[in-house]
Structure 1
Amino acid sequence: MGSSRRRGGGGGGGGGGGEKKDLFHVVHKVPAGDSPYVRAKHLQLVEKQPDLAIVWFWKAINSGDRVDSALKDMAVVMKQQDRSEEAIEAIRSFRHLCSKQAQESLDNLLIDLYKKCGKVEEQIELLKQKLKMIYLGEAFNGKATKKARSHGKKFQVSIQQETSRILGNLGWAYMQQNNYEAAELVYRKAQTIEPDANRACNLGLCLIKLGRHGEARQTLEDVLLHRIYGSDDEKVVARAEQLLHELDPFNCVSSPFDVGQSVHEEIMERLDLVMNGWTPFRSRRLPVFEEIATFRDQIAC
């Protein structure tokens, strides 16, 4: 960390040196100080030495220095270094040292790591767990929105958006297992909450795999006709066009909605069982639940 002090304190009087030091930390997005976590961030972002940064993130965790951030940042660097298995083990082993507020972001990291490692079963179980927390009103610390950050920009995420996003990820995980019946059911639920063109393409692919080409064509044409949010994305439109070309023009008759009973029961039980425990208070506090409530009719009493 001596380099940061030299850059920050060189030249000019005391005030100018302090301003330069502050500017250095702002430009390189590293915290001030000389603790293990600060040294790790300096190695990661300034000196571009990820392996050494991981060593210092470990030291930060072991010394109790900004453990929440140290564990998350270390896992991200490990993922970038193709050490995702190590990152998964680190999160599992040390997340108990982190605050309650950090657990949700650690879960999101785990889902990404499971995806990269091809651990589909683990990914599915964690996604279902996150859905259950939402349905029980335990996500976002009971609030209807949370603050998020992407590419350096902060924005608000609603429970509705989060539910739809997680369902989309769950649908994609089922597709990796070639379980297109389950994926279709999950994607349809996601689309009723917040329609999205990319998910519509995935739903169209599921329907193609299930041989229901008429429904697939209608779903994909909704993207091309800009009827769904995200239809202005050129890559999504190109994908919808490609999927349409794969359809057999002589086999575009819609077949009845027919999901195997075991799959139907498994998905609906996991995703909707907790609906029976909702209270009016929770429903008022999280309005998105009212939109999902129509699926109660699909549950066998």
Structure 2
Amino acid sequence: MEESGEQKKRSKGKKDDLFHVLHKVPYGDSPYVKAKHAQLVDKDPEAAVALFWKAINEGDKVESALKDMANVLKQLDRSEEAIEAINSFRSICSKESQESLDNVLIDLYMKCGRTDEQIELIKKRLRLIYQGDAFNGKTTKTARCHGKKLKISIQQETSRLLGKLGWAYMQNKNYMMAEVVQRKAQLLGPDSNRACNLGLCLIKRARFEEAHLVLQDVLQCRIPGSDDDKTRKRAEELVMELKSVLPHPQSMDNFTLDDNFVEELDHLLNAWGPNRSRRLPIFKEISQDQLP
């Protein structure tokens, strides 16, 4: 039996819905929609960038277009251009979007090796958490990871930012600050990859016995994420590196502690009392006498 016009219309509508769901492409014919189509369906990043620029200039979903364009530019190894775009146009974006723009910038700074700017921006985000201004005043936020929606708590976000900060200090070869920050990150949310970073810091500081204990925690699956093959391989490689330097221990410290910022971190992790409901619970402080 031949389908009626109405049946054909419904059938076409279902196919269109399936297409948009599969490709995660929004409905419509605006510059932003065309940009997403170029990015996700046509796999044409250059065309997507041009269309995202058009969307920004025409005021079409500016915040989303700016973030999406920055990510496409990063994939094209044009991260400097993405940084300039965000810094130029973020002033016309809403207050609610500034946090996600900062997160994009943090990764772009890391990609470009602009670690000093990355460090300062992460510090800014941590101070906002301390002031109770992160997540737009809420205790959790919704984020996307591999296409799935996740609830992220302030504690998880703090731990994530501290991990990135520790990595940035490592790139600057400031292993003393990197160790302090990584330890604080581990207090909030133990993570095997950060444990490997901490192990590397300790190796660079010629604290070999401590490094061995930290890496063994990964290899013996005592830390979340230790079952990840890539992380275990990295831990094994660091243990081999540890064995190679044991006969000739040499400290590679060329930096001192940023005492003011360490004190700020201690307040961040330790100063939220029961009468300050917008802030985190009290966490154990790493006292100064635990530092070498």
User: Residues 101-180 of structure 1 correspond to what in structure 2 (within 5 A)?
Assistant: 101-180=96-175
Q: 1:56 aligns with which of 27, 30, 51?
A: 51
Q: Matched residues in 2 for 1:281 and 1:38: separation?
A: 46
Q: Matched residues in 2 for 1:32 and 1:68: separation?
A: 17
Alpha-carbon distance, 1:260 to partner:
9.2
Which SS does the other structure have where 1:217 is aligned? helix
Q: Which digits, 9 at most, give the CA deviation of each residue in 1:126-166, with x for residues without a partner?
A: 11111111111111122221111111111111111111111
Q: 1:291 aligns with which of 254, 278, 283?
A: 283
Which SS does the other structure have where 1:75 is aligned? helix
Q: 2:204 aligns with which of 209, 216, 221?
A: 209
Check 1:116–1:296 CA distance in 2 against 1; reply closer, same or farther (3 A cut).
same
Which SS does the other structure have where 2:144 is aligned? strand
Q: 1:93 aligns with which of 88, 91, 100?
A: 88
Q: Matched residues in 2 for 1:223 and 1:104: separation?
A: 32
Q: Which digits, 9 at most, give the CA deviation of each residue in 1:183-223, with x for residues without a partner?
A: 00101111111111111111111111111111111111111
Q: Matched residues in 2 for 1:286 and 1:297: separation?
A: 24
TM-score, normalised via structure 1 length:
0.85
Alpha-carbon distance, 1:277 to partner:
7.7
In the alignment, structure 1 segments of 5+ residues that lack a partner are 1-9
Which SS does the other structure have where 1:146 is aligned? strand
Q: 2:262 aligns with which of 268, 272, 277?
A: 268
Kept in 2, the 8 Å contact 1:144–1:158? The answer is yes
Which SS does the other structure have where 1:156 is aligned? strand
Kept in 1, the 8 Å contact 2:269–2:283? The answer is no
Alpha-carbon distance, 1:279 to partner:
6.0
- Percentage identity across paired residues of the two chains: 59
Q: Matched residues in 2 for 1:37 and 1:278: separation?
A: 42
2:140 counterpart letter in structure 1 = T
Which SS does the other structure have where 2:87 is aligned? helix
2:44 counterpart letter in structure 1 = Q
Q: Matched residues in 2 for 1:225 and 1:274: separation?
A: 31
2:59 counterpart letter in structure 1 = G
Q: Matched residues in 2 for 1:69 and 1:249: separation?
A: 49
Q: Matched residues in 2 for 1:262 and 1:15: separation?
A: 68
Q: Matched residues in 2 for 1:92 and 1:250: separation?
A: 44
Q: Matched residues in 1 for 2:17 and 2:56: separation?
A: 26
- Give 2:65's aligned residue: 70
Which SS does the other structure have where 1:147 is aligned? strand
Identify which range, 44-53 or 103-112, moves more after superposition.
44-53
In the alignment, structure 2 segments of 5+ residues that lack a partner are none
Identify which range, 156-165 or 11-20, moves more after superposition.
11-20
- Kindly report the root-mean-square deviation, in angstroms, between the aligned alpha carbons of the 2 structures: 2.7
Kept in 2, the 8 Å contact 1:28–1:45? The answer is yes
Kept in 1, the 8 Å contact 2:174–2:255? The answer is no
Q: Matched residues in 2 for 1:276 and 1:250: separation?
A: 37
Check 1:262–1:152 CA distance in 2 against 1; reply closer, same or farther (3 A cut).
same
User: Residues 1-20 of structure 1 correspond to what in structure 2 (within 5 A)?
Assistant: 13-20=8-15
Q: Which digits, 9 at most, give the CA deviation of each residue in 1:5-43, with x for residues without a partner?
A: xxxxx9973222322322222222211111111111112
Q: Matched residues in 1 for 2:240 and 2:54: separation?
A: 55
- Give 2:195's aligned residue: 200
Aligned length in residues: 281
